[in-house]
Structure formats: structure tokens, C-alpha cells
Amino acid sequence: MCISGISKQRGGTIERQHLFFDCEFAREVWIYFTSRAHVFPPLLFEDGIRWLKNPCQDKNVTTILRLAHHASVYTIWKERNARLHASASRPAAALILEIKSVIRCHLDPLSRAQRLGPNGTSFLATWFGLFD
């Protein structure tokens, strides 16, 4: 994560486009999830948010990608703060492991509450089939 590049500022605020999409470190984290789902999100932040409304036909994958996006944004922001304020850093692989753990914790209760038809696939089955 490029500390000098990651904190490109406009009027005192960090530019989210750079932090979450342009920074190679953050892109590596996000691409881990999108590549496994075989989807290609837009490269602009605002377009990416709109894209998350319906990133693919599979509702399980859509839910997982939304969780991955939220967890990625939160984890990347935490990493940015750790680097700026505590001089501590972790590799992208460590963030990906943390994000995967967060997602699995959210998918367990969602899978238990999910009503499946005879050929239905649970959130966790989709997760383990594509992401883990």
C-alpha cells in the first residue's frame, strides 16, 4: 500500500477512488474476490457501487460480493490507519485472510436462515465452491 500515494488528498479528504481502486495494494485485495467469481467490475468507485446492485445472475455470488466489498473497504481503511498512525503494515494476503474470515462469519447465519429449493445451493456452499 503506497502511503504517499494512498493519501492523495483533495481539500483535506482522502480520494476514495485512489484508496480503493487505483492503489495496487487495494486492487490486489479486491481482485482476489472478483476473479474467483469470474466477474469484471468497473474501475471507477461510483460505477463500482452501482455495479454491486447486480454484479451477476447468481444471487448467492451477488450477496458474497457485496459482503466482500464492504469487508474490503473496512479492512483496507483499517490498514491505511495502521500504516499512518502506528507504522505497522501487513501484506495484501493477510488482509485477504481477514476479509475471508469476516465473510464466513456473516455467511454462516445467512446460510442457516436461507430457504433452499430441492436443487438450491447455500451461501456457504457457494463460498466454498468459489472463494475458499
- Report d(CA 127, CA 106) in Å as an integer: 11
Dump pLDDT digits (tens) for 20-41.
Answer: 778 889 999 999 999 999 999 9
Q: Has residue 98 been placed in a domain?
A: yes
Q: Has residue 60 been placed in a domain?
A: yes
pLDDT at 45 (0 to 100):
86
Q: Is 62 helix (H, G, I), strand (E, B) or coil?
A: helix
Q: Has residue 5 been placed in a domain?
A: no
- Report d(CA 126, CA 71) in Å as an integer: 18
Q: Please state the domain count of the chain.
A: 1
Q: Has residue 16 been placed in a domain?
A: no
Q: Has residue 19 been placed in a domain?
A: no
Dump pLDDT digits (tens) for 75-120.
Answer: 999 999 999 899 889 999 999 999 999 999 999 999 999 988 777 8
Q: Has residue 21 been placed in a domain?
A: no
pTM of the model: 0.86
pLDDT at 6 (0 to 100):
47
Residues 49 and 66: beta-carbon distance below 8 Å: no
Is residue 14 very low, low, confident or very high in pLDDT (cuts 50, 70, 90)? Answer: low
R_g of the chain, CA atoms, integer Å: 16
pLDDT at 16 (0 to 100):
78
pLDDT at 4 (0 to 100):
44
Q: Pairing state of beta strands 13-14 and 9-10?
A: antiparallel
Q: Is 121 helix (H, G, I), strand (E, B) or coil?
A: coil
Domain that holds residue 43: 31-113+121-130
Q: Has residue 69 been placed in a domain?
A: yes
